[in-house]
Structure 1
Amino acid sequence: MNSAIQKLYDITQKPNRIIIGLMSGTSLDGLDIALCQINGSGKTTEVELKNFETISYDPKFKKRLKSITSVPKASMEEVCLLHSRLGNYHGKLILEALEKWGIDSTQIDCIASHGQTIYHAPKSQHNQPDMPNATLQIGDGDHVAHKTGILTVSDFRQKHTAAGGEGAPMAAFVDQMLFTHDTKERILLNIGGIANFTYLPPHTSDKKSITTDTGPGNTLIDNAVQKYFDEDFDKDGRIAKQGSVDPTVLKALKSDPYFQKSLPKTTGPEIFNLNWIEKQLSKMGITDLPSDNLVATLTQLSAETIAEAIQKVNLQNIQTAIYVSGGGLHNPILIEWIDELLPNCTIRNFEEIGFDPDAKEAVIFAILANEMLAEEGFLINTDSEKKVNFGKISFPD
């Protein structure tokens, strides 16, 4: 037997595994690296976050990534080069993190690499009936594996689209498995560039879980702040706080058909970006909206569309706890406005029921890799009742 396959088999038989989860989101801020110990699999899964770090991308590299991310046209040469370059780069960052933590790479069973999404194109977005749901991540798993010498599982979203899903959000599978309460409803809200949540009815309920994107989370706010204030993001919601929400502009932004679509749905910065903002304002003939008012209005847009999507699944206004993760958790104005819009819910930090909220998505992919190695997979709520697993396996050599 090929020795690599024998090693893979041995890993699948272990009662627990040490897995590194990687996540780089639509903000392109850097790479989240989560070192996890995962005991068991399936419903018996227990996860312990041993170490976590976010390593910022080099500004020049970030600029190159932006040039091919969420744009309808890009250089094929640049896509090809960055697919390999990002894999090598992520491998390098993993080795640096392990050295910092004093951990030898031989102690790691597997790397779970999400990669960098450069384009997300579900049918609901591309509107081509003869084409499937599609999504594309770069950061080649073979390069990660070869660079680190560690078995790597990557490209998780492709099986989801192949089986009829839209390739997002992926967190729901783990949310349902680990965080469903016996008697209480929960909502797990992640506010990244795009906001999404998982509604979790209790074990005792006959209601169904639902996971969905809601629309922009941080992405439009970041776009505006970067253009008009030359800052990466609105730290502590300072700019939104000093501005005023323009109700006319807010109404125009919310008229986008995406917000009227039924749940579940997905989207991305391919739709919600700086051009989208400018197009919506142009339709109204607005050219002189003060920059701080724009940031405040975009923050309110995120708050209202998140709250309205949550209200669609919480029709009875049950006192429900909303556990928040993602970068938006650190914007107190955004969180305050969501809280005001959902008086029958309580906003809480995801850490109360899990672990570091900034690490949540990286840990999610570590658990998905663990399931690939040790379990039967997940139902993805399409017409098929067949379980599927996510990820492709790359051997180090």
Structure 2
Amino acid sequence: MNDALYLGLMSGTSLDGIDAVLAEVSDTGLRVRAHAATGFAPALRAELLALNAPGAHELHRAALAANALARGCADLVNRLLAQQDLSASEVRALGAHGQTVRHQPGLHDGTGYTLQLNNPALLAELTGIDVVADFRSRDVAAGGQGAPLVPAFHAAVFGRADADVAVLNLGGIANLSLLPAAGRGEPVRGFDCGPANALLDHWHQRHRGQPYDAGGAWAASGTVDAALLALCLQEPYFAQPLPKSTGRDLFNPGWLDARLAQLPMVPRPQDVQATLAELTARSCAESLQRYAPQGPELLVCGGGARNDDLMARLRRHLPARSVQPTDVRGLPAQQVEAAAFAWLAHRALERRPGNLPDVTGARGPRVLGAIYPR
């Protein structure tokens, strides 16, 4: 089919806000035409963060938060369309990931699940655009992790015929896609490496009162605490075999506090921040070295690609590799995940699989997403 316009929406585990991408998508590629972003109101961000843990009246609160998220998404979509002088009828569909508040795909009794807060019916009502949502559940129903879903998209836009490529998304959680050269006939692989901005942002907010450490300046001012880093690296998740995925269910403030409590003396706050940055860089670098030791180039996307300190730490751990933001390949780091959900919406409408069983562990390829007509 000819290129059609799609919108992709992403609000990730870093809880830094909503990104919207307007893109031309076809079976052969994707080209971003416009991007817009908005932050969360402090009250909504606090509520979305609180809903990652059990609490009073959480079903009622989750429904209200989903409504607020949908309205924020609709406002951003309508603003983006107005800026581009487009009508809703000119957009074929909108892919809306929603806000992950639980991710438990690997429960041993087969009752695993993943939960993203969203109200796609309200989003369709407010935008007049077909909405595709709930992308992860079908993969989980087929025995998969439901995450990460972006490796298939990474392969479509960043894969090369002549060389291996690795793509690292540094959102709230870090996830890695390994894209072998097309001619080798090897499968794409991908998995969550561990924490990224989720813990960095939490610690910065707790001690500095700001939602994130701009450029990683505060982390750069500290010194890595070797004892704390060692305790963090003992987390069994890092040694867990593939497929695997994780989230705030594991890497949350309680996880960090439990390790701080084992130290004879809590380090200076800036030293904890430096240690968390080092944890992210080291766990990502070791994951790459373990599964792709031959040294493909590493493209970095997500908010962490704008963290100068974190990027410098990655380069120190990977001295033989090129480590660059995805901007160098034509897709800015902050737009990648939203673009992925525009692409996944296209896959859903064309009834084409959106998952990769070699990544998620699902029993086979599946069409992902539920469609909410305009």
Q: In which range does the TM-score fall when normalised by the shorter chain?
A: over 0.9
Cα distance in 1, alignment partners of residues 186 and 274 from structure 2: 36
> 2:95 maps to which residue?
112
Write out aligned runs for 1:383-394 (5 A).
Answer: 384-385=363-364, 387-394=365-372
Which of the numbers 262, 268, 286 marks the counterpart of 1:283? 262
Which of the numbers 18, 23, 26 marks the counterpart of 1:31? 18
Which has the greater radius of gyration? 1
Cα distance in 2, alignment partners of residues 361 and 256 from structure 1: 27
Q: Which amino acid aligns with 1:35?
A: L
Q: Deviations over 1:16-58 (max 9, x none)?
A: 21101000001212110100111x31xxx22110000111111
Deviation at 1:284, TM superposition (A): 2.8
> 1:57 maps to which residue?
40
Cα distance in 1, alignment partners of residues 44 and 197 from structure 2: 21
Deviation at 1:375, TM superposition (A): 4.4
Contact 1:133–1:165 (8 Å) recurs in 2 = no
Cα distance in 1, alignment partners of residues 111 and 217 from structure 2: 42
Write out aligned runs for 1:50-129 (5 A).
Answer: 50-68=33-51, 70-73=52-55, 75-123=58-106, 128-129=107-108
Q: Deviations over 1:183-237 (max 9, x none)?
A: 2111011111100110011112243321010001111111111001111111111
> 1:137 maps to which residue?
116
Contact 1:236–1:330 (8 Å) recurs in 2 = yes
Contact 2:37–2:76 (8 Å) recurs in 1 = no
> 1:20 maps to which residue?
7
Cα distance in 1, alignment partners of residues 188 and 122 from structure 2: 37
Cα distance in 1, alignment partners of residues 282 and 116 from structure 2: 30
Secondary structure of the corresponding residue to residue 292 of structure 1? helix
Deviation at 1:383, TM superposition (A): 6.5
> 1:9 maps to which residue?
none
Cα distance in 2, alignment partners of residues 231 and 329 from structure 1: 19
Q: Which amino acid aligns with 1:32?
A: D
Secondary structure of the corresponding residue to residue 283 of structure 1? coil
Contact 2:95–2:341 (8 Å) recurs in 1 = yes
Which of the numbers 273, 292, 295 marks the counterpart of 2:270? 292
> 2:232 maps to which residue?
253
> 1:301 maps to which residue?
279
Cα distance in 1, alignment partners of residues 317 and 68 from structure 2: 44
Gap change, CA 1:383 and 1:249, over 3 Å in 2: closer
Which of the numbers 374, 381, 386 marks the counterpart of 2:350? 374
**RMSD, matched Cα:** 1.6
> 2:337 maps to which residue?
361
Contact 1:117–1:137 (8 Å) recurs in 2 = yes
Cα distance in 2, alignment partners of residues 235 and 301 from structure 1: 18
Gaps of 5+ in 1: 1-13
Deviation at 1:73, TM superposition (A): 3.9
> 2:242 maps to which residue?
263
How many equivalent residue pairs?
370
Q: Deviations over 1:155-178 (max 9, x none)?
A: 111111111111111101112233
Cα distance in 2, alignment partners of residues 133 and 350 from structure 1: 33
Secondary structure of the corresponding residue to residue 352 of structure 2? coil
Cα distance in 2, alignment partners of residues 87 and 131 from structure 1: 31
Contact 2:325–2:332 (8 Å) recurs in 1 = no
Cα distance in 2, alignment partners of residues 159 and 328 from structure 1: 29
Secondary structure of the corresponding residue to residue 14 of structure 2? coil
Bigger drift between 273-282 and 57-66 goes to 57-66
Deviation at 1:100, TM superposition (A): 3.0
The reply to whether residue 332 of structure 1 matches residue 308 of structure 2 is yes
Contact 1:85–1:139 (8 Å) recurs in 2 = no
Cα distance in 1, alignment partners of residues 275 and 343 from structure 2: 37
Which of the numbers 138, 160, 171 marks the counterpart of 2:139? 160
Deviation at 1:15, TM superposition (A): 1.8
Gaps of 5+ in 2: none
Cα distance in 2, alignment partners of residues 57 and 275 from structure 1: 23
Which of the numbers 229, 235, 241 marks the counterpart of 2:214? 235
Which of the numbers 194, 215, 220 marks the counterpart of 2:194? 215
Percent of aligned positions that are identical: 29
Cα distance in 2, alignment partners of residues 186 and 23 from structure 1: 24
Q: Which amino acid aligns with 1:302?
A: T
Contact 2:145–2:362 (8 Å) recurs in 1 = no
Deviation at 1:118, TM superposition (A): 1.2
Secondary structure of the corresponding residue to residue 196 of structure 1? strand
Q: Which amino acid aligns with 1:269?
A: R
The reply to whether residue 151 of structure 1 matches residue 130 of structure 2 is yes
Cα distance in 2, alignment partners of residues 360 and 260 from structure 1: 28
Contact 1:320–1:344 (8 Å) recurs in 2 = no
The reply to whether residue 345 of structure 1 matches residue 312 of structure 2 is no
Contact 2:17–2:40 (8 Å) recurs in 1 = yes
